Amino acid sequence: MAYSLCGTSVDNTGQQECDKAKGVLSKVAIDNGKIEAADYATSALFHAALIAKSKLSKSDTEKLFILPDVQEVTDASESNKEGTLALGLKTTLFEGRPAYKFKFLGGADLLARCKTFDNQIVRIREYDANGVWWGTKVGTDSKGYQAKLFFTGGKVATGQNYEEGVIECTVSILSTNEYYKNSTWMETTSSENVSDLSALLDVNFTYVSHVSNVLKYSMKIPGSNLVGPYSVGPTVGTLIAGLVANFSAKSGAGTPTTALAITSMAYDATNDLLAVTYDSSAYTSATGNIKLIPPTPTQLDAGDVTNTELLSVTHSKPA
Amino acid sequence: MNYNGINFNTEYWKTKTEAEFIKHESHHGLSETQLKEAYKLMVPEVKKVDKKDTVTEKKP
């Protein structure tokens, strides 16, 4: 066609050496936040940003949740919609939405935790077996693809295949524009270990007992074991008590807002409890509830309490 | 600061007296001597400046 208008809407079709293509899926990270331009200027900065995001509290909007290693992946994309004319011309009318299923290993507790993401619209980053992170760009920020997730598992194994402890996640990508036309990538180097991204475990504080202004709390991971939740005290109780400077507390009715100083902290190994001593004067005058606010996961990590998110607790001031 | 398994909030105790500290933290089972030692580790005594070391201008 001599008088083409294509020049304003199409690109040239040359290709650079080593043009990246998605490899076998290795990891998936749920990340509703972003990585700003300054933090993806180099792969080292990008890697550091991912690690920092993985260690944030789950309530932080920049939190990244890393899932276990992918053991199997199958394409589940919708086929393209095609149309034909009566004389035989067949063409693609629109592109099918991308989707896939991947399997990873996990028990009943991890399945229950994953299922809290069922049917949630989130953003995901993909990490492939070639060491490349994939996502998209919104403005100047690096972001994950918009996707809907659904987790299945927990069925009885039949003994015919590898089924025991296998969790399957179905990923439905929302935007072909993000996934096909605006994918962006970041290559990692051999010194950037994807395993440095942390998956955290929730640990609940529960008020147990007190003597005057010294209150004792259990520290347990909720789970499906009927015997009871798993206490982290014997493993990291002493380390947690050592982070007294990173704890804070408040008192007051409803949601406490009045500062309540913590003067000391110790791990009571005999009873497997954390003993927290509050300022006696402030404690005496406190009314309503007591809220104990623990260190952030990043502060815990710095104190060698790794892969852990301690959750704050609010309870009535004991009589 | 960790002393015999007890983690004292140094920032809090920096602004308090030794007597207040001993009265408040005696429930941990530490002796008074130990509590005094713990307090000194958190709040070291400021060395008094010897008057001999100070320079005073001689009046003409």
Instruction: Give per-residue pLDDT as tens, A22-55.
Output: 999 999 999 999 999 999 999 999 999 999 999 9
Check CB contact of B28 with chain A, cutoff 8 Å.
yes
Is B26 part of the contact surface with chain A (CB cutoff 8 Å)?
A: no
The DSSP secondary structure of B19-43, one letter per residue, reads: HHHHHHHGGG---HHHHHHHHHHHS
Nearest CB to B9 within list A211, A244, A267: A244
Structure confidence at residue A310 (pLDDT): 98
pLDDT at B46: 65
* SS3 of residue A127 by DSSP: strand
Task: Let me know: does A308 contact A200? Beta carbons within 8 Å.
Answer: yes
Where do the structural domains in chain B lie, given as residue ranges? 2-44
By DSSP bridging, strand A230-231 and strand A214-221 are antiparallel
**Nearest residue on chain B to A263, alpha-carbon basis:** B9
DSSP character string of A223-248: -S-TT-PEE-HHHHHHHHHTTGGG-E
Read off the pLDDT of each residue in A259-269 and give the average, rounded to a whole number: 97
**Is residue B59's pLDDT more than 90?**
no
A1 pLDDT more than 80: no
Tell me the whole-structure pTM to 2 decimals: 0.89
Q: How far apart are CA A225 and CA A223, in angstroms?
A: 6
Closest residue in A to B15 (Cα–Cα): A263
Question: What is the reported pLDDT for A26?
Answer: 98
The pLDDT of residue B53? 56
Q: Is the pLDDT of residue B52 over 80?
A: no
Structure tokens at A3: 């008088």
Give the confidence band of A228 by pLDDT, cuts at 50, 70, 90: very high
Predicted-assembly ipTM surpassing the 0.85 threshold: no
What per-residue confidence (pLDDT) applies to B57? 63
In whole numbers, what is the pLDDT of chain A averaged over residues?
96
Inter-chain residue contact B2 with A263, CB threshold 8 Å:
no
Residue A5 pLDDT class (50, 70, 90 cuts) = confident
Q: Quick one: average pLDDT of A51-61?
A: 96
Residue B30 has pLDDT above 90, yes or no: yes
pLDDT of the residue at B54: 56
Give the pLDDT band (50/70/90) at residue A210: very high
